[in-house]
């Protein structure tokens, strides 16, 4: 009696066993990926339909210009803008830094060590000036809409928030006594997620995420005096780990497979680990809280050249 054939799995949905295969390339495909041709079956790449980068680009354009989708991205942008306007209303200067919201929410190691744990998250919704806010929100709109369309709202919001926490942990590791604000730690998490998805065969930004990432990292290090290197690198690592968790660390696909309890639990664990690392790094910060006599410069997380003239004047 012959041995049974080894099970095959859809090349786009690794968690789905199938007996079907493409008549052109021979790759295994599930029923959702099958197109019935006059002769044989076709995979998405050989079906004649728009696929890959062209399909993702079309999705992004539709979400951006036709007003559909990207609900979470829109909400996040709205929250960031609303917080900045609130800073101005509550006595902030043009850069939104001279007010209680900024003083109580900016990431600062000694304050976190003293019990202000919420700064690990609130700092990702604060910005030091309209230019900083505008650049980050433009990046969030361009990049976030595409990723949200691909992985869904629930996964996207989890990835965004955990990447923000990871960015705060990274900032506290490298510069614990430098007040830090900005959303680009989370935005770098989006780039990290796109990098993993591209490696899994699902390009989000036309397959150019590596070049985009290299450019942003080059800017980060070129302006490291006013940009939080730790915030960017931490967010990038957080985004990569979260996306790997969504794919159950290689056993599925981050966009197509169900993450299950293991995937969601892993993302929550990454968030908890980011908080733990941030608290540990904050405890290492020895200087006292900043005073009005010697305020430290604010390092803003920004994806472009950032101003370095703003200071945190102290609570």
- Catalogue all structural domains in the chain, each as residue range(s) with its CATH number: 8-46 (no CATH), 52-300 (1.20.1540.10)
* Residue 307 predicted with pLDDT over 70: no
Task: Report residue 67's pLDDT band, with 50, 70 and 90 as the boundaries.
Answer: very low
Q: Would you state the structure tokens that stand for residue 277, as one six-digit string?
A: 């690392």
Indicate which residue of 127, 232, 247, 274 is catalytic: 232
What does the alpha-carbon distance between residue 286 and residue 109 come to, in Å, rounded to a whole number? 9
SS3 52: helix
- Residue that wins the pLDDT comparison between 86 and 295: 86
Q: Which two tokens stand for residue 51?
A: 């696929």
Show Cβ contacts of residue 149 under 8 Å, excluding neighbours closer than 6 positions: 56, 59, 60, 63, 69, 70
Give the CA distances from residue 76 to residues 82, 94, 114, in Å, rounded to whole numbers and listed in that order. Answer: 10, 22, 28
Active site residue 163: no
Q: What digits encode the pLDDT tens for the residues 169-215?
A: 999 999 999 999 999 999 999 999 999 988 887 788 776 788 889 99
Residue 311 bridge partners (DSSP): 297
Over range 255-259, report the average pLDDT. Answer: 72
Residue 161 near residue 271, CB atoms below 8 Å: yes
Q: What's this model's pTM, rounded to 2 decimal places?
A: 0.72
Residue 68: active-site member: no
Condensed to tens digits (0 to 9), the pLDDT of residues 103-115 reads 899 999 999 999 9
According to DSSP H, which parts of 175-208 are helical? 184-199
Q: Which two tokens stand for residue 261?
A: 């309890």
For residue 38 the two structure tokens come to 């006059």
Q: Concatenated DSSP letters for 48-79?
A: SS--HHHHHHHHHHHHHHS--S-HHHHHHHHH
Residues 65 and 141: their CA atoms lie apart, in Å, by: 11
Q: What is the pLDDT of residue 166?
A: 97
Q: How confident is the model at residue 61 (pLDDT cuts 50, 70, 90)?
A: very low
Confidence category of residue 296, pLDDT binned at 50, 70, 90: very low
CA distance 142 to 144: 6
Residue 48, pLDDT score: 62
15-57 confidence digits (pLDDT tens):
788 888 888 777 888 888 888 877 788 888 777 654 444 444 4
């Amino acid at each position: 009696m012959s041995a049974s054939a080894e099970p095959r799995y859809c090349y786009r949905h690794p968690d789905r066993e199938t007996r079907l295969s493409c008549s052109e390339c021979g790759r295994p495909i599930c029923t959702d990926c099958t197109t019935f041709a006059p002769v044989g079956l076709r995979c998405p790449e050989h079906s004649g339909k728009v696929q890959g980068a062209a399909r993702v680009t079309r999705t992004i354009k539709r979400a951006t210009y036709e007003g559909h989708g990207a609900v979470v991205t829109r909400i996040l942008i709205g929250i960031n803008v609303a917080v900045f306007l609130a800073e101005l209303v509550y006595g902030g200067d043009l850069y939104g830094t001279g007010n209680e919201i900024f003083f109580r929410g900016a990431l600062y190691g000694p304050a976190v060590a003293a019990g202000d744990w919420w700064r690990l998250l609130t700092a990702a919704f604060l910005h030091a000036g309209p230019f900083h806010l505008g650049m980050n929100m433009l990046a969030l709109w361009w990049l976030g809409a595409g990723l949200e369309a691909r992985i869904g709202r629930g996964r996207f919001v989890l990835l965004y928030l955990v990447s923000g926490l990871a960015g705060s942990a990274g900032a506290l590791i490298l510069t614990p006594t430098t007040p830090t604000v900005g959303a680009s730690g989370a935005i770098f998490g989006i780039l990290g997620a796109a990098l993993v998805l591209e490696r899994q065969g699902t390009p989000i930004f036309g397959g150019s995420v590596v070049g985009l990432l290299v450019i942003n990292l080059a800017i980060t290090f070129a302006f490291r005096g006013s940009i939080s290197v730790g915030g960017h690198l931490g967010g990038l690592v957080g985004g990569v780990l979260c996306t790997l968790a969504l794919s159950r660390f290689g056993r599925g696909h981050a966009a197509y497979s169900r993450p299950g309890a293991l995937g969601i639990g892993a993302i929550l664990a990454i968030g908890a680990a980011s908080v733990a690392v941030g608290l540990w790094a904050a405890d290492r910060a020895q200087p006292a809280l900043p005073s009005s006599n010697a305020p430290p410069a604010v390092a803003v997380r920004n994806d472009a050249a950032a101003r370095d003239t703003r200071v945190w004047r102290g609570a």
